[in-house]
Structure 1
Amino acid sequence: MREPTPTEAIALVGRYESADELPERMRADVRLLGELLGQVLRESGSPGLYDDVERLRVATIRARTEGTADAFEQAVQIAESFSVARADEVARAFTCYFHLANLAEEHQRVRVLRERDGRPDREDAGDSVAAAFVRLSAEIGEARAREHLAGLRFHPVFTAHPTEARRRAVSSSIRRLAALLDTHDAAVPDGADRRRAHRRMLEEIDILWRTAPLRPAKPSPVDEVSTVTSVFDETLFTGVPHVYRRADDALQAGRAGRAAPQVPPFVRLGTWVGGDRDGNPFVTAAVTRTAAAIAGDHALRALEQAAERVGRTLTLDAADTPPGDALTALWQRYRDLDGQTAELVAQSSPDEPHRRVLLMIARRIAATRARNADLAYPDPDALLADLRIVQESLVAAGAQRAAYGHLQQLIWQVQTFGFHLAELEVRQHSAVHAAVLAELDAGAPRSAQTDEVLATFRAIAQIQQRHGRAAAGRYIVSFTRSADDLVAVHRLAAYATADGSPAPVLDVIGLFETFADLQAAPDVLAEVVTRPEFRDRLAQTGNRLEVMLGYSDSSKDVGPVAATLALYEAQERIAAWAQREHIVLTLFHGRGGALGRGGGPANSAILAQPPHSVDGRFKLTEQGEVIFARYGEPAIAMRHIDQVAAATLLAWAPSVQRRNSEASHRFADVAQAMDAASRARFFELVHADGFAGWFATVTPMEEIGRLALGSRPARRGLSVSSLEDLRAIPWVFSWSQARINLAGWFGLGTALHAVGDVSRLREAYRDWPLLRTMIDNVAMSLAKTDERIAGRYLALGDRDDLAALVLEEMALTRRWVALVKDVDDLLADKPILQRAVTLRAPYVDALSLLQLRALRALRAQDGTEPDPDQERLLLLAVSGVSAGLQNTG
């Protein structure tokens, strides 16, 4: 087959990136950034690089548009023809393209959000907190809706699970490019500002091209703390109060800005970064203390700067805005605490009493950060009390707008982030606790593991003393299988503090992960709340109990379909038990970014949960690339938080709970048939003799373990002889890299086929939110697969039977999902997602072909030392495919 002429190539690419698929302004951004990248490749790449990139790009687009074996084979031959050095450059070029395409898409999302903002008729207005409150009020009355609003809580927990292949240096470059795109948008066409933005974008893309895409070494846990904390600095500290403000403005209508807020500060942050030691030997007690110190420093620094900014704006003269008695008394206390600083502040703020007090508040926050005991605040409540005095004085003086403006933002920030930023949660495996207790109970010499486990409890107590009770205290037990696994935490804490050192206050949380553990969870919980340690803590917290559900290992255990159904049943039973026992339950969802780990839109998942399993409280893990996709850009972060909080509030609605309960019972026979059939099909694959070794051969699983993604090892042992040895993240990540995404869909086709009744399944898809969410997520997962490339990965192994089983199930699932959704294109009802997949698909194909050639070369070495050039090429392609597919792990 001849290569297309330049004119034909331009026409081909133009058809693929047509205006019908991309909004005009986004298409212009993609073209602009692509042209700038092309210029950089011509200027900075080796001779002929740009032409080779274009040859492969056009070939993969043609393979997609024509869909013929010949067109695909031509793309394969071009990828195979490059030298390793040239393939390396081409892989880097395509990875840069993905970063720019992702930026263009994010920029379009932000542009649309800004254009919609403030329009009451906008299409997304129905899934905001304000809209959810109105709908809830219509069902249960405004008074009860306000009670529910007061109890609303959205609690994302950031983890360091290793799925973010992108370096922080690359993320920083992309953020700078985003700012330049804004400048470019705002500038006059052909004006000096636009030319300057154009030049600066070229400079930034050149830096991006020259930045090494792979980390030279795995990050340490402290590095990971700094990376996650940057999201707080850049987005969340200012963004979260804006979410509250928008909701409050909508509910207050004409009174907005002049009345006390109706919306509570409903976001709380958690983090496992520096606290999760399950399988990570690099997370020690010292690291945990350091993580808390870093987070606390960032929180106090941000609060100090915010208080200083607000204080400098309160230039209200005492003649017009007289201080209240409490404010005057507070100022006198400050003068007694630090007369010299108070005098300096008074000189700079004559006759401005509110400004003076707030500037002194900023000084006291600085003293808290510096640990100056004489001036420091003992806790966030003391700071809030002072801020309330300022606010109440302003209200009494008639300055309501000043009281409920930026000062209210500061109050919300203190309420949300405290002095600790995010609660640091500790996680450890139940087997580790059992081994340590056996050693301690036997009176044996203490091992290094035992010393470290006990040091962790002392570290939690020290963090609570320094940063406050809210800074730490939740302790998650992985692979909880009995009440004794949870009580073990309290026993270990007693051993750790037997020398009289302060004891930590602990909320022990069972993490139920496997299918069997999920089934046993209600009985384990019913037993553990009878134990004295848990009874006492429940009495202290008003009968509040948190329970964590693991999505990853349950999916790896029985397959994605059976795991989804088992998770629903577990939630249903746990929620019913909690209702009977009058326990205020919070379910903590261990969802990852990928669909095989519970990923997908959180708001639709919330509205599909069983009655009383949410009740206004939703907590979930956020990890890897999902953290930056959801929280890295302020407008997108605010939209995400608003959507998820709205769904959390709306889950209280009787109509939602009734719909889910009725559908669960109405389609119980469908669930039963799907569960049995999907599990049998999954076991047919994963329980086949030699499956673990075959899986490691047909995916880049071993090589992914060498990619410097995170500090945590990819496996629990030295080798993978069974699925139990492999962590869920590399299991999912490896299948996605092979363009198979098996962890997200395998078994659904068989499950739907076992039901067999298309009309009944379509009825269930329409009326049963759980099935609808499952099928929509699988459609997304399948849209990112590619049978041609998947077949070539599967051919790397010597098991034609297993390869055939995977491809048959893929085709069956694709066919049944299309039947149930009644569509020809799996994403026909998701145009934005369809656009994203279509835009990236041929470019992901190019990187997959480069990854395949490297993987074949490495597999052909028969156990000899890997060729470093081929390994680097493979890892570059892994990083690029991750950027292209996005929710990979």
Structure 2
Amino acid sequence: MPSIRHVDPQLRRDVRLLGRLLGEVLIEQEGQALFDLEERVRRLSIQRRRGPKSERRAAASELAALLREMPLERAEPVLRAFSTYFRLANLAEQHHRIRRTREHASGGGQGPQRGSLDAVMQALKQAGIPASRVREMIVSMRVTLTLTAHPTQAARRTVLQKVYHLARLLEERDRGHLTPREKADTLESMREEITALWQTDELRRERPTVGDEVKNVLWYVEEVLAEQLALMPETLDWSFERAYGEPLGVLATPVRLHSWVGGDMDGNPLVTPEVLADTLRAHRARGLRALLGEVYRLGWVLTQAEPHAYVSKELRASLEKDAAELPEVMARFGSRTTGEPWRRKLRFMEARLQAALVYVEGRRAGRTEPLAPTAYRSPMEMLSDLELLERSLVDAKSRHAGLRQVRRLIARVRVMGFHLAELEARAPAEDARSAAASFDGGPKPTEGGARLLAVLQRVREAQAESGEGCCRTLILSMASTAEDVLAAFTCARKSGLWDEARGCATVDVVPLFEQLGALDDGPKVLRELFAHPEYRKHLQARGVQEVMVGYSDSGKEVGLLAASAALYRAQTALTRVAHEAGVQLRLFHGRGETVARGGGPAHEAILALPPGSVAGTYKATEQGEALDHKYARPELARRTLELVLSGVLLHSLDAQPRVASEEEAPFRAAFDELAELGRRAYRGLVWEDPNFVPFFQAATPIEEIAALPIGSRPSKRAAGGLESLRAIPWVFAWTQNRAILPGWYGVGTALEEYGSRPEGLAQLKRMYRQWPFFHTVMDNVAMVLAKSDMAIASRYAALAPDSTRPLWERIRAEYARTRRWVKRVTGEARILESNRQLRESISLRNPYVDPMSFLQVELLRRKRAGAEKIDRPLLLTLAGIAAGMRNTG
């Protein structure tokens, strides 16, 4: 059994139950010998973390020897046992998070749960923010979550589906009043799911296609997020009324879903113009099918009959118009819906949706039949019918007989239209420059430039078919100049993405500032764009300039502290420049899940943003690896959405803790000093030490990651060395070897040098107490330090050439220095002292991650020595360690 004595009792109960069932399955499926071997490995792993130092070393040596001698045919089932345990432990934790949320909501906690909308509305009321101001903010607020694929997500949908079934069974067990027979049946069902999980291959046999990734990301939208976003107006109204004692009075739906999957051309040659066009049609087809199902189900709700409910003149006139335009529907359903006007209206709506779906599916199949004149051409047409239903139900005194369901469908259509998620296109800035230079007799565009022009043509066709809302964002990666944006602007106009009446392009051109120089030059770029007459007219018509700031490549380039400082500086300056020019700015945060890529708790991250940089508008990426633990279940999705919305509300209404104005300037100056000290230390190791690249390649599984079928996108943007490696596999490799170096290297040196000055440590402590930005940075570093394990990382380091030994000693010394100084700054005796839940989570996983790390080292050694048939067990270790470490890339 897992050693989890210090874990919450309810979580401990679930983990032990799932662990016991897994043990029974192992014995049944693989025999007692395999179970005994797995238990021996687990006990040694626990011993290696407890007891006197000599005993820990002895356990580590014995564990390494055992795994070194283990034949491959035994290694695979042992690895599968540990990785299966992780899936079950993750499931238990997710379930416990949901349980805690419910306890708070039912009054069992100490007031509303932190970060919930209930808690935030009460905080706003206590801060003296009037109801009218909160209402105005909710109506105007816009939060956009952009879903992405993830090249290091190894879990198959087949496996995840079985885990979701187990989740529902855990929920069933938590419900009281089950009979003994029902309890036994639930337990047997859990055993069946775990057995099926064990018998299912958790590894992909082939690298996923872009289409596979599109289906994967849309699963979360269709199965979970669509319903949660439809419920959001009611959630906001409920929380607002509880705090302010009056109804919100508006059905606000502030969240929008976008997606990069199928439109992200940055370094992915598989995203062709044809793939993008098919993705757009797949979005529309799946969205229309989902709406058809919703309208059909609504027919079983709106069963009001004419003798018993008032039918408005407006509804009667609408039905007469529908009957004239859709006689075949009247002929088929007229007699069945006699005297049931709302059902009849819904039948007509179904027919209009079906006609739109037939057209889209025909286009996907290569047919060119025109759109039927009776089909819905836009979501606005459907909304018009739904709003008519809403008014007629109010007139019929049916507020408690279906009105809520109609309003939920209205919210869904407002959020998603016909597309589920709005697709965004992303391309390198150099492609836009090449494409623009090819006009008017210029040189032939590069392959990337030609692809961009072809993609813009497909977007133009899609907008003609489906309206502008299907795809209206073009992101330029590695943008650094105004010329980059103007080149893309020219390409859009030349491609027909232009509204002559408004004098603007029908796409927003979004520069992505990723590297240090681009972040620092971003304000200058905006000034030049705002001074460009034609582009300024375009902005006046579009209403907003969106700018994306990248947290990944900046961190890889200059280290955590310097990247954090550059991002804070850039956001402050970009906000100021836009305000001075009278242009609305929307900042798009390109965050990953790891601290090295801007990750960390979303609520705290939003509150730590510079003053004025949110202003009711927030947009961020939701990385593919995060989707499962944020959105796999309705309760998790609701909690995630509330955390983001509550952070945006607090920041926009300036109701969160702020550093005193007289302290902000010296705090920022101090952090800039820390950033420069950290930059020097980080660059000195990663970019200037000639031994670093050979060490990185040998002491992490980076080459193996690149070769294995994990994601559709290559690990590098182009041929080259470290500079061309994407930030995701860069961080993923360091997470696999347990050092997680990008999340802390250089921090210790910076804190030590600054903190050793007179009053330096006192200043750092003040910054931690008073400045949310610095507090968040330090807490995120502490989380990475807690997850790192330098003893295990040392085993990976032993794979590197002897000449790199001094470099590894530098890394170890910096890790120790960083731990020491983070504790001094936070005032805690041990790392994560104040974060019990995260400490529990790490302690729950370590005994199971450690053996997979030990075995991965052994497999890397064998593979590099020329052994065959290593790829499959090696991929199992990659997937297992990723599951155990959670935020991996």
Structure 1 length-normalised TM: 0.93
| Aligned-partner residue type, residue 514 of structure 2 | E
Shift of 1:46: 5.8
Alignment partner of 1:337 out of 325, 329, 332:
325
**What residue in structure 2 maps to residue 5 of structure 1?**
none
Deviation at 1:122, TM superposition (A): 4.8
On the 8 A contact 2:679/2:746 being kept in 1, the answer is yes
What is the deviation of 1:437?
Answer: 3.8
1:425 lines up with 2:424 in the alignment: yes
Superposition deviation, residue 22 in structure 1: 2.1
Q: Residue 622 of structure 2: SS of its match in structure 1?
A: strand
Distance, in Å, in 2 between the alignment partners of 1:253 and 1:593 is: 33
1:186–1:331 Cα change, 3 Å: same
Instruction: Determine the structure 2 residue equivalent to 1:4.
Output: none
User: How far is the alpha carbon of 1:759 from its aligned partner?
Assistant: 2.8
- Secondary structure of the equivalent of 1:843? helix
Deviation at 1:265, TM superposition (A): 0.5
Corresponding position of 2:136:
147
Separation of aligned partners in 2, 1:630 and 1:621: 13
| 1:169 to partner: Cα distance | 1.2
User: Matches of residues 848-863 of structure 1 in structure 2 within 5 Å?
Assistant: 848-861=853-866
Pick closer, same or farther for the CA change 1:765–1:444 going to 2, 3 Å. Answer: closer
C-alpha contact (below 8 Å) 1:511/1:548 kept by paired residues: yes
Q: Which of the residues 18, 28, 48 maps onto 1:43?
A: 28
Q: How does 1:721-800 map to 2 (within 5 A)?
A: 723-756=722-755, 757-798=760-801, 799-800=804-805
- 497-506 or 396-405: which moved more? 497-506
Q: How does 1:561-600 map to 2 (within 5 A)?
A: 561-600=561-600
Matched, 1:287 2:275: yes
Summarize the Cα distance change of 1:115–1:359 in structure 2 as closer, same or farther, 3 Å threshold: farther
SS at match of 2:659: helix
Q: Establish whether residue 538 from structure 1 lines up as the match of residue 551 from structure 2.
A: no
User: Which residue in 2 is equivalent to 1:172?
Assistant: 161
Structure 2: unaligned runs, 5 residues or longer: 360-370
Check the 8 A contact 2:150/2:625 in 1, yes or no: no
Q: By how many angstroms is 1:609 displaced?
A: 0.9
2-side partners of 1:389 and 1:189: how far apart? 45
Partners of 2:740 and 2:402 in 1: CA distance: 53
User: RMSD in angstroms over aligned alpha carbons?
Assistant: 2.5
Cα pair 2:151 2:710 within 8 Å, conserved: yes
Q: How many residues align?
A: 865
Q: Which AA in structure 1 matches 2:468?
A: R
Q: Deviations over 1:118-150 (max 9, x none)?
A: 439654445233543454454443322222111
SS of match in other structure, 1:708: coil
Distance in 2, matches of 1:260 and 1:411, equals 17
Task: Check whether the contact 1:561–1:674 (CA below 8 A) recurs between aligned residues.
Answer: yes
Other-structure match for 1:105: 93
CA 1:136–1:28 in structure 2 vs 1: closer, same or farther (change >3 Å)? closer
SS at match of 2:546: strand
Partner of 1:689: 690
**Cα deviation, residue 540, structure 1:** 1.2
Aligned to 1:619: 619
The one of 45, 50, 62 aligned to 1:60: 45
How far 1:161 sits from its partner (Å)? 2.7
| Contact 2:505–2:538, Cα closer than 8 Å, also in 1 | no
SS of residue matched to 2:357: helix
8 Å Cα contact 1:129-1:649 kept in structure 2: no
Structure 1 window deviating more from structure 2 (355-364 vs 412-421): it is 355-364
Q: Write the distance in 2 (CA, Å) between the matches of 1:123 and 1:81.
A: 55
Secondary structure of the residue that 1:880 maps to in structure 2? helix
Rounded Cα–Cα distance in structure 2 between residues aligned with 1:255 and 1:739: 48
**Separation in structure 1 between the aligned mates of residue 719 and residue 660 of structure 2, nearest angstrom:** 44
Correspondent of 1:196 among 185, 191, 195: 185
1:315-347 deviation line (CA, Å, top 9, x unaligned): 223344212111111111111111231354443
The residue aligned with 2:364 is none
Contact 1:419-1:468 at 8 Å conserved across structures? no
Q: In the alignment, does 2:666 pair up with 1:678?
A: no
- Residues 498 and 621 of structure 1: is their aligned pair in 2 closer, same or farther, counting only changes over 3 Å? closer
Instruction: Specify the SS of the correspondent of 2:300.
Output: helix
Q: Find the aligned partners of 1:408 and 1:388 in 2 and give their Cα distance.
A: 8
CA deviations over 1:801-855 (Å, ceiling 9, x no partner): 2101111111111111112222223122111111111100111111100101111
Distance 1:228 1:771 in 2: 34
Q: Residue 149 of structure 1 contacts residue 263 of structure 1 at CA under 8 Å; is this kept in 2? A: no
* Match status 1:229 vs 2:218: yes
Contact 1:420 1:468 in 2 (8 A): no
Matched AA of 2:754: V
CA gap 1:46/1:27 in 2 versus in 1, 3 angstroms: same
AA partner of residue 147 (structure 1): E
Distance 1:325 1:714, change over 3 A: same
CA deviation digits over 1:154-198, x for unaligned, max 9?
Answer: 211011131211111111111111122223333766722222222
2:365 paired residue number: none
Q: Residue 214 of structure 1 aligns to a residue in which SS?
A: coil
Q: Which of 306, 319, 323 lines up with 2:294 in the alignment?
A: 306
Q: Which moved more, 1:846-855 or 1:867-876?
A: 867-876
Q: Distance in 1 between matches of 2:189 and 2:400?
A: 41
Q: Tell whether the 8 Å contact from 2:498 to 2:505 is kept in structure 1 after alignment.
A: no
Q: Which amino acid aligns with 2:526?
A: L
- Structure 1 residue 27 corresponds to structure 2 residue 27: no
Which is worse superposed, 148-157 or 61-70?
Answer: 61-70
The equivalent of 1:350 in structure 2 is 338
SS in 1 for 2:256: coil
User: Corresponding residue for 1:489?
Assistant: 488
Closer, same or farther in 2 for the Cα pair 1:82/1:533, shift >3 Å?
farther
Q: By how many angstroms is 1:442 displaced?
A: 5.3
Range that drifts further, 224-233 or 191-200: 191-200
Residues 291/826 of structure 1: CA separation in 2 closer, same or farther (3 Å cut): same
Q: Select which of 136, 148, 164 maps to 1:159.
A: 148
User: For 1:254-312, what per-residue CA distance to the aligned partner results, in whole angstroms no more than 9, with x for missing partners?
Assistant: 999x9785341111001000000011000011101111111112221122211222232
Q: Deviations over 1:223-247 (max 9, x none)?
A: 1000001111210111222233222
* Residues 377 and 466, structure 2, Cα contact 8 Å, conserved in 1: no
SS in 1 for 2:712: coil
- In 2 relative to 1, CA 171–660 (structure 1 residues): closer, same or farther, beyond 3 Å? farther
Label 1:370 to 1:620 Cα distance change in 2 as closer, same or farther (>3 A). same
Matched, 1:829 2:830: no
User: Is the alpha carbon distance of 1:246 and 1:196 closer, same or farther for their aligned partners in structure 2, counting shifts above 3 Å?
Assistant: same
Q: Within 2, Cα distance between the matches of 1:646 and 1:255?
A: 16
Matched-pair contact (CA < 8 Å) for 1:538–1:545: yes
Structure-to-structure mapping, 1:228-307, within 5 angstroms: 228-252=217-241, 261-307=249-295
State the Cα distance separating 1:501 from its structure 2 match. 14
Separation in 2, partners of 1:246, 1:77: 56
2:299 aligns to what SS in structure 1? helix
> CA 1:689 to 1:698, structure 2 compared with 1: closer, same or farther past 3 Å?
same
State the AA in 2 paired with 1:378: R
Mark the runs of 5 or more structure 1 residues left unpaired by the alignment.
1-9, 862-866
Q: Measured at CA, do residues 593 and 475 of structure 1 come closer, stay the same or move farther in structure 2, by a change above 3 Å?
A: same
Other-structure match for 2:473: 474
Instruction: Show the counterpart of 1:715.
Output: 716
Residues 659 and 589 of structure 1: CA distance in aligned 2, closer, same or farther (over 3 Å): same
Which range is displaced more, 581-590 or 789-798? 789-798
SS at match of 2:621: strand
Moved more, 707-716 or 185-194: 185-194
Residues of 2 paired with 1:45 and 1:320: CA distance?
65
Q: State which drifts further: 562-571 or 374-383.
A: 374-383
Query: Which stretch of the first structure deviates more once superposed, 725-734 or 236-245?
Result: 236-245
In structure 1, give the amino acid aligned to 2:472.
G
Pairwise mapping of residues 839-878 of structure 1 onto structure 2 (< 5 A)? 839-861=844-866, 867-878=867-878
SS in 1 for 2:680: helix
CA contact (8 A) 2:302 2:402 kept: no
